[in-house]
Chain A
Amino acid sequence: MKPAAPQFSLALRLVHWLMAVMVIAMLFIGIGMVSTVSEMRTWLIDVHKPLGILILCLVAVRVCLRLLRPTTCRSGRRRRPMHRTSCSTP
């Protein structure tokens, strides 16, 4: 029997998928900007830098969300503080 997956709040899930898109975009922007001497290089660096800072800010938001609203198990019980990464099977 698989352990029940933790339930994440809507806000955490939104931030997670937003960051997923942004981090993957960063890979594309990063490899693109070092591959060309055209004006695209300048343009991509100008996107790369603020996007990286934004991702760092979202990490902070994510930590705060997680601390403010601990994830719950499907059973609805809050997990014990020292066992935050998985839910015990009922």
Chain B
Amino acid sequence: MNRITPAILLRLASIGLVLLTVTAGFAFAAGWLSADRLSPPDIIDSLQINAGLHPGFRRAHAKGLCIEGTFHANGNGTALSKAGVFAAGDVPVIGRFSTGGGQPYAPDGRLVFHAIALSLTQASGELWRMALDDTPIFVVATPQAFRDLQLATAPDPATGKPDPVRTADFLAHHPETRAFMDWMRDEPLPSSFANGTYYSINAFRFTDAAGETRHVRWSLVPETPFEALDKSKLASLPPDFLFEDVVQRLRRGPLRWHMIVTVAQPGDPVDDATKPWPADRRQVDVGTLAIDRAAAEENGACRNITFDPLILPSGISSSDDPLLPARSGAYAVSLTRRDGEPVNPSAASKNPGIRRGAP
């Protein structure tokens, strides 16, 4: 055994210092030293606090139905983006209709917020994933505000209802959320998944073959004529009326939407999903989405897809909107959690009118 000399102590101390530095660096990188760093699990935790824990289901937009179809590009999109999906022709689509919120069995009358999520596979094999809502603006501008909203509107265990003081306090600090709620209250909402317009929520960048980049948003505009939902009768509607309706429509034939790309002008807000763009912006109809099949999630192809809006083909990329990396991270955490949980039957599979799917 060697004697412990000052030289050996010095060497041991240097080794210790290196280990300590590396460990501290790792702790810093992991965010263990930054209590206020918002992580993807923080977002998902706030959704679980708001909606309760429903094992095996998505933490947001928990109630849904798998759909499939085709995107037929007319070629106009190639002027804006070099993505192969815009070259004239067809690409297969797997998607999902859903209602808002984290409760997989809530009646549709309570979740009038519609959404469509799509995964387009272009000829090169690259994917374009998107999750669109039927509102042109989003309820909050930042991930922190999203989490705060979930917590502020979570049911109080004592009453089963959100604490009105906390909700009012949140709204006092977030006029953009109040504007969104006013919009939901005042605007006519679509009566069906089929006649809703769906919006990309966030801005993205399109890059054309010449390398020119433009900020865009896009929407899916239905060929099915708009009909407004009677908001006064929501409580008396059957619990799955939206899903029953769309399955019955798909049994009669495909449903179509035009993908309309809106190009921003310099100065338009491209990093804030709560701010609409002026109505006169250049719009390009780049093709038609035709949905022709539907299946309960148990029988469909959409169940294990994360509709992560940052899974993009070359020619489409993220904007500086802070919601985008948060959506990407949160969707991944939601998948990881539900993938490790027991599977429970979806509302669609429990409903005899929907279970068989369409056609």
Contact = CB atoms under 8 A, between A and B. Distances in A.
Interface of A: 24, 27-29, 31-32, 34-42
Contact of A37 (B22, B30, B320, B325): B325
Q: Mostly helix, strand, loop or mixed at chain B's interface?
A: helix
Contacts of B29: 28-29, 31-32, 35
Nearest to B143: A37
A42 B309 CA distance: 12
28 contacts: A24-B22, A27-B26, A28-B26, A28-B29, A29-B29, A31-B30, A32-B29, A32-B31, A34-B329, A35-B29, A35-B31, A35-B39, A36-B31, A36-B37, A36-B38, A36-B39, A37-B39, A37-B40, A37-B42, A37-B322, A37-B325, A37-B326, A37-B329, A41-B40, A41-B325, A41-B329, A42-B318, A42-B324
Q: Mostly helix, strand, loop or mixed at chain A's interface?
A: helix
Interface residues of B, number: 23
A34 B40 CA distance: 7
B38 A32 contact: no
Contacts of B318: 42
Interface in B16-71: 22, 25-26, 29-31, 37-40, 42-43
B25 A28 contact: yes
B328 interface: yes
B226 to A, nearest CB: 35
B329 A39 contact: no
A20 B258 CA distance: 51
B30 A39 contact: no
A32 B30 CA distance: 5
Contact of A39 (B40, B43, B325): B325
Contact of B26 (A31, A34, A39, A42): A31
A41 to B, nearest CB: 4
B354 interface: no
B330 interface: yes
A46 to B, nearest CB: 10
A31 to B, nearest CB: 4
